[in-house]
Amino acid sequence: MVDNSELRKAGLKVTLPRVKILQMLESAQQRHMSAEEVYKALMEAGEDVGLATVYRVLTQFEAAGLVARHNFDGGHAVFELADGEHHDHMVDVESGEVIEFTDHEIERLQKERAIQNGYELVDHNLVLYVRRPK
């Protein structure tokens, strides 16, 4: 759970819009949200935060390491709270649902492949695009 002290530690001033957006990301059922979805959820909750402010705050949160931005196929960015735990994603190409998963064997194989080619794996992003069989 991210709190106001996390905003301060990240070098961000604690402002009402930042707190409201952070609370929305923490409490939302949907873990991966676009800026527009965050804005819509805030409006539905009766919060007066503009769309431009949502974009600006999410960019600040990303720069501070509080959220991770993902650009899955479909062209728009989605954000999720950065919890420090690595995971990969599957995206259902028909519904747009994003499924998180962790697979230690895949992680091991990726590191092994990098070493075999004379490299050290420093980061990666694995996204599987899936659909249910017909």
Q: What 3 state SS string does 81-107 have?
A: ECCCCCCEEEEECCCCCEEEECCHHHH
Which residue positions form the known binding site?
86, 88, 107, 124
DSSP run (H or E) holding 8: helix 4-9
Binding-site residues for Fe cation sit at 86, 88, 107, 124
Number of other CB atoms surrounding residue 41 within 10 Å: 19
Instruction: Give the number of residues written for the chain.
Output: 134
AA letter at 2 = V
